Amino acid sequence: MLILNILLILSYWNFTMSIREKPLSPETQGWLRAHRWLIARRLTQVGVLALFLLGPVAGIRIIEGNLSASMTLDVLPLTDPFLLLQSMLSGSLPVMSGVIGALIVLVFYALVGGRVFCSWVCPINPVTDAAAWLRRRFDLRGNSALSRNLRYWLLGLALLFPPLTGVLVWEYINPVSMLHRGLIFGVGGAWTIILALFLFDLFIAKHGWCGRLCPMGVFYGLIGSGAIVRVRAAARERCNDCMDCFAICPEPQVIKPALKGAGEGVGPVILDRNCTNCGRCIEVCPEGVFRFATRLHNVS
Amino acid sequence: MATTKQSGITRRRMLGDLFKTACGVGLFGLGLGLYANRASSLPAHAIRPPGAIPEDDFNGACIRCGLCVRACPYDMLYLGQVGQDIPTGTPYFIARQKACEMCEDIPCVAACPTNALDHALTDIDDARMGLAVLVDQETCIAFLGLRCEVCYQVCPIKDAAITLDRQHNKRSGKHALFIPVVHSERCTGCGKCEQACILEQAAIKVLPQHLAKGELGRHYRLGWEQQAKSGGPLVSPDPEHRYNLPAGMEYDHAGEGLIEKGGTAVPFSDNPLDTLNQQGPLTE
């Protein structure tokens, strides 16, 4: 999962570096190039799932388990630190492989951006992206005023339950682990929750789940608060206020400080922990303002 | 003044929003907690893998990754799904369908990334997944007088976890019953006996320990154990046992019959005619 991720990110990074020289509008740069990051993300998401499914479907055991904890080729343990933390908060002593797995995941996402998990790996992302796409496609504007800070409350709640009740209460409704586990071990009635979540995002709240409620996302966001890999509004002086990036971004509030902060001395790197590094702003911008970069040298 | 007023309104609104969110989240959390409370109970027919810590702790420790399911060479573990009555995502098996094979290296425990399956379990014979109980003596054909013994024969620790207890068959008056008896100090709850039971519905079932076991009062002491421990009577010497036997009779050596004093240990002579003559002459 990680290796695939790294490879894809690196290859596409090189790819975009080479074509970055001249800004091109989506109309002129061709469909493929205007969706290169989206395609890369979908490939990663499908690839991760396929690797997990190879075992149960084809008997080829590469990665066992699911996103909550997995074992790759019998040597590389990976553990979801959000779940391990809950497990430990319930009073359970961890096991070496679980702790090592969680540390690997922590370090990886601390470097590449915590919410890279959300946009590159999480199985819910295609679901909520589909809802967001339909919203744009059919111009659905209904939006309830759920605060984007609500997810921090739910994170608190999710972490409060294990020490209080001794049970991983969030796991009874966590659609992220539920969907991924369901796809690999049998979905049961989990599809109803996923459908409900899709309809919630489609009709009730724009980016409702991933952007406002999901405590897992914000947990990963917190992990990646100091991430090295970030999107940089490198050519922000070229911005012509077309708003395309704001329209496509699942967390549009993260763009403004970097894109419009030149006057206030704010650097061009998007530092907000809730940026998912999905790269959509990069490819939709007709002026080629954005690109992947590091958080270093945050001066224009 | 204007700024104070303005900041006052902001603070009021901010606190209001804060309380509103807190109330909403609290209500949601209450509902979720109550739901989780109900959703955490494991039905008796679902058995946890070997090494599973007590159920209350298990629901907190298990991160629902399914590594134990994948590690099982016999594919007999499943994860609870949404809509089932088993806590979502947690591993279980149904003994009647496929019992635990009790692998010596316990791969399911080794694969567990938490201590939900206790890594201190190194000898599979120490596992206590549940306890086999012969729940129905009315249908178990051993009680009907047939020599079934299937549960006894499939038991991985037979003669220790399950023994056959010979009892008198009162119905026929002359046969033995071979009754399977489970011993909780050795039974691992693997479920082999339940899986193998030849009945339509198993007469022997693996149940969770808390359903299967009774518990003596803590103050109870077994007199014969205490006596053995102290090496003699605890209070006063036991009076010598006295029998009120018919005159001239005593127990035979095995204690199962009466013989005439000074008579032979065997009540029957080698000559069958002696026995026939004992009945006295035949009369009309």
Within 8 A by CB and 6+ apart from B178, the residues are B142, B147, B148, B149, B164, B165, B166
Task: State whether A147 and B21 contact (CB < 8 Å).
Answer: yes
Residues of B in contact with A79 (CB under 8 A): 63, 65, 113
Percent of chain A residues topping a pLDDT of 90: 24
- Give pLDDT tens digits for A211-237: 899 999 999 999 988 888 888 888 888
Domains in chain A, ordered, with CATH?
2-223 (no CATH), 229-294 (3.30.70.20)
Residues of B in contact with A160 (CB under 8 A): 29
Within 8 A by CB and 6+ apart from A250, the residues are A119, A128, A129, A132, A207, A210, A211, A276, A278, A280
Q: For chain B, how far is it from start to end, CA to CA, in angstroms?
A: 133
User: Can you give the residue ranges of every domain in chain B?
Assistant: 43-128, 130-214
Helices A81-89 and A150-165 cross at an angle (nearest 10°) of 40
- Give pLDDT tens digits for A87-107: 989 888 888 888 999 999 999
Q: Identify the segments of chain B with pLDDT beneath 50.
A: 1-5
Which residues of chain B have a Cβ shorter than 8 Å from any chain A Cβ?
17, 21-22, 25, 28-29, 32-33, 35-37, 39-40, 53, 56-57, 59-67, 69-71, 78-79, 81-84, 87-89, 111-116, 119
At A8, the pLDDT band (50, 70, 90 cuts) reads low
Task: State whether A87 and B28 contact (CB < 8 Å).
Answer: no
- Give pLDDT tens digits for A150-186: 899 999 999 998 898 888 889 888 999 989 988 888 8
The residue to which tokens 């917190």 are assigned: A222
Task: State whether B32 and A172 contact (CB < 8 Å).
Answer: yes
Of residues A183, A181, A178, A184, the one with CA closest to residue A196 = A178
Alpha helix stretches (DSSP H) within B40-126: 55-61, 67-71, 107-111
CB count within 10 Å of CB A281 equals 25
Confidence at residue A18, expressed as pLDDT on a 0 to 100 scale: 44
Within 8 A by CB and 6+ apart from A95, the residues are B112, B113, B114, B115, B119
- Give me the residues paired with residue B91 across strands: B79
What is the reported pTM? 0.77
Closest-CA distance, B206 to chain A, in angstroms, reads 25
Fold (topology level) of B130-214: Alpha-Beta Plaits (3.30.70)
Confidence at residue A6, expressed as pLDDT on a 0 to 100 scale: 54
